[in-house]
Amino acid sequence: MRKEIIKMYKRADKEGFAIGAFNFSTSEIIKGIWKAAANKKSPVIISNSEGERSFFGLEESVAIYNAIRKKHSFVVLHADHTKSFEEIKKVIDAGYPSVHFDGSDLSYEDNLRETKRAAKYAHRHNVFIEGELGGIKGGSTTHKDESLKDIVKEEFMTKPEQAVEFVKKTGVDSLAINVGNAHGLWKDYKQLDFDRIKTIKQKTGKFLVLHGGSGITPADFQKAISLGINKININTEIRVAYEKALMAGLKESTDDVPYHYLAHVSEAVSAVVEDKMSVFNSENKLKK
């Protein structure tokens, strides 16, 4: 599966689109993501973090992924923000074809060592692996009172020269970078460092990942893609759409049938995902 994933990343890099990675923690969310991908004829990455996997279930995630694979020509199940080798091993052994080792809370030396260890295990099992350098701060929620100034600092930004060493020594397939992005929705405007994206891409030649995509403008997404971003993660906007649709559905419900109001939840998720796929220029990119 790793070769197939790399092939799609190469195509995205060459044709100027980004593969959307959309997080899920409930069946309504994953139905919404799948419906959007089918409608847009777009490659898609369905992703969940350690907390989301714990809630939804590891085996359940793999089972629903295998079911979708029978209907969609390019879908990847991705383990997002996996922070230990033990967890990497667990998700790979369960059947995840793509993983993200997030050692950003470690020192640079420890991050490099542990990422290299994770990459060796992943590649031995034909699994695609994403590393992280710099550390993307914030949580996947709405930050109403906090400011990006508190977490978007030069000290957390990915350093191009360090990135060169990191990808060379770890052997990761892709790299998540901090270029002014942060998880969640903020009252401030996320100002991406486009020169940094360009420099990291030129110096490393690696597939690059933009976490914290919620709230970034379409124009900035497209510029980032043109400079070398190949995968973009979206979570908070999906969560917000889910909550609003669920609350409205419960309020308007005239019976006790869950799928009557939960169908609107999936539709709200689909609307967010379809919009992003259009912005990412990933529609109609499936094999003919």
Contact of 132 with 164, CB cutoff 8 Å: no
191 pLDDT above the threshold of 90:
no
50 C-beta neighbours (distance < 10 Å), count = 17
The overall average pLDDT reported for the chain is: 93
Q: What is the predicted pLDDT for the residue at 24? A: 97
Predicted confidence at residue 187, as pLDDT, reads 78
**pLDDT at residue 248 greater than cutoff 80:** yes
Cβ pair 91, 99 in contact under 8 A: yes
Q: What is the pLDDT of residue 19?
A: 98
Residue 235 has pLDDT above 90, yes or no: yes
Structurally, the chain folds into a number of domains equal to: 1
Confidence of residue 124 (pLDDT cuts 50, 70, 90): very high
Q: What is the mean pLDDT of residues 256-281?
A: 94
| CATH number of the CATH domain containing 39 | 3.20.20.70
pLDDT in tens, 147-179: 777 777 777 889 999 999 999 999 999 999 999
Q: Is residue 285 part of a domain?
A: no
pLDDT of residue 194: 96
Show the domain range for 21.
2-279
- Asked whether residue 287 is assigned to any structural domain, the reply reads no
Q: Token match 């401030």: residue? A: 188
Which residues are marked as active site?
A: 80
Q: Domain for residue 197, yes or no? A: yes
Task: Please check the confidence at residue 288 and state whether its pLDDT lies above 60.
Answer: no
Q: What pTM was estimated for this model as a whole?
A: 0.93
pLDDT for residue 189: 73
For 220-250, letters b (16+ CB in 10 Å) and e give: bbbebbebbbbbbbbbbbbbbbbeebbeebe
Alpha-helical regions (H) of the chain: 2-15, 27-40, 50-56, 58-69, 85-94, 108-124, 160-170, 194-204, 218-226, 236-252, 258-279
| pLDDT category of residue 92 using cuts at 50, 70 and 90 | very high
Q: What is the pLDDT of residue 254?
A: 83
Domain presence at residue 286: no
Does residue 100 lie in a domain region?
A: yes
> Measuring CA to CA, which residue among 136, 226, 123, 220 is closest to residue 175?
136
Does 195 reside within a domain?
A: yes
Q: Residue 3's pLDDT is what?
A: 97
Cβ pair 100, 79 in contact under 8 A: yes
As beta bridge partners, residue 46 has 22, 77
Q: Is residue 6 part of a domain?
A: yes
Pick the most confident of 42-46, 102-106, 150-154, 184-188: 42-46
Residue 97 lies inside a defined structural domain of this protein: yes
Q: What is the pLDDT averaged over residues 75-100?
A: 97
